[in-house]
Every structure is written in C-alpha cells, then in structure tokens.
A = this chain, B = another copy of it.
Amino acid sequence: MIGAIEAGGTKIVCAVADRKELPRVAERISIPTRTPEETLPKIVSFFKQYPVEAIGIGSFGPIDVNQDSSTYGFITNTPKLAWRNFDFLGAIRAAFDLPYFWTTDVNAAAFGEQQYGAARFAKNSIYITVGTGIGGGVILNGKVMEGRGHPEIGHIYINQLASDPFEGNCPYHSNCLEGLAAGPAIEVRAGQKAEQLNATDALWQIEAHYLAQACVNYTLSFAPEVIVFGGGVMKQTHLFPLIQEQFQMLLGGYMETTAVESFIVPCKLRDNAGIVGSLALAEQLI
C-alpha cells in the first residue's frame, strides 16, 4: 500500500491506497489543522494501521523543497505561527522510515490531474487553484517542477486594467494576480460573495481577463499542453469561455497551443486532486 498526506491550512487529509488500484482511495481521514503537537499523533495513528511502503506529502506552504538545504522538509514562513519553521517531513519520517515525496499541495494536485484527471494526455501541464488565494503547480516532462524552491505562480504581476480601480488585497504585493483575482478581491469589488454574483455581471469579465493574462504568462514560461483550473471561484463554469476568449486575444497567436477549449480546462478530480496526486507521487517512489 501507499500513503498520502494532503496538509491544508484548515484540515489535513491522510489516505492510503492499493498502488494497483489508483486513483481509488482505500481509506482516508480528515484531521483539523491545529498545532503540530495535537495533529501529528493523529496522522501517525492513522498510518500505523496499514502496511504503507511510501508516502507522498502535499503541504500548504511555503515549504522548503531544496534537498541541499538544512531545512529541507520544513514548512517555512507560513502565517500559521504554530507551523512556522516546523520540520513536518522530519516529524513524519521519525515515525515511519519510508521513502517520501515532499512537495506543495498545489504541485501534488497538478500531478494528480496529470496522472488521472484533466491533464492525463499531457507531459507538461499547469494546475491553478483560484479560491481564497491563488496557487499553482507545474508538471514538466511528467515531473513536478521545482527550482531552488517551488513555484509561487499565483503571485505574479499582471497588467491591471485602467477600468479597475481596486488597489488589490495581497498582503505582500497588493495588486499581483492573487491580489486582483482571488475570491476576496472579487468580493471587495462586488460587495457580496462571489458565488452570489450573477453570471452576466461585468466583474466576471475583469476576472476572466486577469486569469487569461496569467494563462498567457504561464504558457510563455512553461509551454504546457494544458492549463487546469480548480478552486472555489472556478466552480463558476461560465468563466471558462470568457478566459479562453481573452487568452486567445492576449496571446496574439504568438505561441502555438492546442484548441483553446482543450487548453484551458476545469479540473476533473475536484477536491480529490491533492490527495490522489500525493498518492501518485508516493507510487512513483516504489
């Protein structure tokens, strides 16, 4: 069997699977993300029940993924103070001496979609989640892409529309992509929850324009075969044709892509992308 941990800011999902039955999850639990002292023993108890041979971990970040670093495996500069500079991988490894794949939650989700979801045909793909924040993972030649660290492509700068007076609400960058286009930015402009906005509201045009710009930048940077969107905001499926249309206009034919309807697509695994991706990463270790 293989194991997986998807560590989010509010809950931590642990799962095990028979590696021959992926993407089927055999057993899972969901644990509220409290302090490491309170949470870790529950994770360990779960995995003690199963003959697990490898574990994939997709964690909220930022995390240290640099194997040359003395803090490899740590959650680093997170606003969740109890987890800041916590050696998450080390704590799990202390309980189970196994091979581990350690990466971000969004990289794990990107790998899940690439192995079993909307990017299954692709060697190179991007996964973007648009919710209370914007995060993304990159698969390059079938592998999770990491440099000295992991990508943070939800925070790139894009060109703000002159018609959009909102100053942006990213605490680090004000009007980066997350500051202009995550759920909270839509809600500030609308004065109400994004999901209550009418599908024809002009604010969706602004949202689609920003996400399309991001897709152009990702396309020019990574040359993927497909860009997969997940996250709460993207449940507004009327956004997809708007993004696709804006993307084509903004790319200006500069780079060849497949037909835009199959290039910018919704995720398929939905809330399972992260845990299935973490399982798939564990499977590759064996």
Interface residues of chain A, those whose CB is within 8 Å of chain B, are 62, 76-77, 123-124, 138, 140-141, 145-153, 155-160, 162, 172-173, 175, 213, 216-218, 220-225, 250-256
Contacts and interface: CB of A to CB of B under 8 A. Distances in A.
5 contacts: A138-B221, A153-B220, A157-B217, A158-B158, A172-B252
A224 B157 contact: no
Contacts of A146: 223
Residue of A162, A213, A221 ringed by the most chain B CB atoms within 10 A: A221
Report how many copies the assembly holds: 2
Residue of A62, A175, A220, A250 ringed by the most chain B CB atoms within 10 A: A220
Contacts of A123: 147-148
B62 A216 contact: no
Given A157-B158, A175-B159, A151 B253 contact: no
A177 to B, nearest CB: 10
Contact of A157 (B76, B145, B155, B159): B159
Nearest to A221: B221
Nearest to A217: B156
B252 A156 contact: no
Given A157-B217, A250-B173, A124 B148 contact: yes
A151 B222 contact: yes
Given A173-B250, A221-B221, A250-B173, A256 B149 contact: yes
A147 B114 CA distance: 14
Contacts of A175: 159
A224 B147 contact: yes
Contacts of A221: 138, 151, 153, 156, 217-218, 221-222
A158 B155 contact: no
Given A152-B254, A157-B159, A147 B172 contact: no
A198 to B, nearest CB: 28
B157 A250 contact: yes
Given A147-B222, A150-B223, A223-B147, A157 B216 contact: yes
